[in-house]
Structures are given as C-alpha cells and as structure tokens.
Structure 1
Amino acid sequence: MDNELEFKRLVNELTPKLKNALGRYLHTSEVDDVIQDTFMEFYVAKQTQHIDNPRAFIFRISRNISIDRVRRKGHFDKIKQKAIEPDSTELDIVFQSERQHLADVINKLPPICRNVFVLRKVHDLSYKEIAQRLNISVKTVENHISNGIKLCQKYSQKVSSKKLFSDTG
C-alpha cells in the first residue's frame, strides 16, 4: 500500500461498518475472523495491483469470504433471505448490485446455455438431472456449463473494468 497510515485509516473507518453488516449474516464469533481475513486479503492484493476503489474492494472481499463461510456451514438460505430484504447498508447495496450484475450476465448467455447454467447454478441440479430434463447428453451439459462460465467471466470483466471499480470520488 502507498502508506501504512492509509491502511490503518481504512481499517479504523470500515471495521465498525463491516461488523454491523456482517453481524446480520454470520454468527457473532465469526465476524472478527472475517474482518481480519478481509483486511489481510486486501493488504496482499494492494501489494500487487492497483485498486481504484478500496472501500468497494474491501466490501466485496468481505462479501466473498462471508458467502464461502455460510456455504460451508450449509446456511445459504439465511444469506439469500437477507440479500433480498431491502436495506441501505453498504454491504446490502453491494449484494444487490452483485445480484443484478449476475442476472444481467446470465441473461446475455445463449438461451440453451442460459437454461443449463441456471438449472445447475441456481437450482443446483446435477449434470445427469439436467441432461435427463432437457433430453441432452451429460457431455453437452458439461460443455454448456463450461461455455456459460467462460462467457460470464468475459462479460463480467468488461463490466467490472468499466463501472464496478471506477473511482467516483
């Protein structure tokens, strides 16, 4: 980071906001760990890349770590429910923005690819179940998932470089 004081300022400024936001999604005992992991990942990332909007980047890291923890514990329903409730905190705004961004990306996929992708990623069907439901081979399902991921990443990178990390002030 350009200087340690800036990093300390971000830690002091964002820790209470992260605690408040993460406390709604995670068990109290996990919040401090997620915050520590968040700042550690941010510090490492800042050493190797330019980050236009550190606040957004930090909130995105905390979101990703939180989702990973919740998924590992099998409590994804709780975070999905919270994510759809209207709220004005920064983390909720990031969640809402990410959901909309993901929906936009998925809607740009070719129809059959989108259908296969949604059945796998949203409805959590196995490749075999998707193949049976759509009357296609498992290999075709694999190809659609692979292409869907590649297209989503490609489109996501274009959008991210244009607006997600632009510095607006």
Structure 2
Amino acid sequence: MSLSATHSITPEQFLLQLWEQNHGAIGRTLVATEADPSARDDLKQDIFMALYQSATRLQAAENPRAYLFRIMHNVTVDHIARAQRHKWQPLDENIQQQMLDECPSLQVDEQLQNQQLMRAVQQLSLANQQVILLALEDLDAPEIADILQISHGAVRVRLNRAKTELMELMQNDK
C-alpha cells in the first residue's frame, strides 16, 4: 500500500509504513549521531515516540518524509544537547570516597574478608586466638598483657606467631 492512499489507514499504520520505508535513513542517522549502542537504542525509541505522538500530523503533512526528518532532527538535537549537559566530569574526592564507602560491593567484599579472617582465627591455638582477638579490638600489647595476666614480652611473641600463622592460613584459604 502506498503512502498516497493515506485516508484509508489509521495514523499509526501510516507511521509504521513511513518508518519501514525510511528505516535505512533512520538507521544511518542513528549510527552517525550516537556511537554507544545502548544510547542509540534510547535515541531510536525517543524518535519513534516523537513520531508516534505526531502520527496524525505526519499523515496530514504535505511532505510526510520531510516532516519525519524534521522530527528526527529535533529529537537528535535534543539528544546531543542532553548528552553534552550530562558529560562525565571527575567527582570531588570527598564525594567519590563517600560513594566508595557506601558501595554495597565493597561492603560485601569487606564482609567476605572478615569472614575469611575469622575462619583463620578459629584455626589458631587458643593462646594465639586470645592475643589476636584482643589486638583486633585495637588493644595494645601492654593492655593485652594486663588482661591475660602475662608478660608484655609474651604478648609480643604470641602476636608475632599469631600474625605469621594467620597470614599463612589466609593465603591457603584463597
């Protein structure tokens, strides 16, 4: 059916015919305008929606193909302008750090590391477990010595042994 018999079809049917007849030109415009395939799909949808909203005017237009290209041009110009306004800019370091701190994948990674650490701590001797758990609570050697009622030197020896053993256990767990 040609576009000349426009009064016997609905505006939507007319639009689909016009779209099919000009799909090559539309595709070339899309490829020339947008390099990113995902953004190109969005642009294609935007163009089709603008055409759909103007389907009745398109069907009544003296030159529907020229009207189609005018709508495509307008939508494409808007797309380019939006892309320019939303161009990537480096984030302020504080905002970037805040986003990283709130990042769920980093929190999950941290939880996995903590779980791995706790599994390794469970494999230590009881004496080394006590010392390393207190050290993980940010207690220093004199405080640990006081809590466990052992000498300061004994705490340092146990901490060194526990750290060495933990590093080996965590390397083997990977």
TM-score between both structures, scaled by the size of structure 2: 0.42
Of structures 1 and 2, the one with the larger relative CO (CA 8 A, separation 6+) is 1
TM-score, normalised to structure 1, is: 0.43
| Larger-gyration structure (1/2) | 2
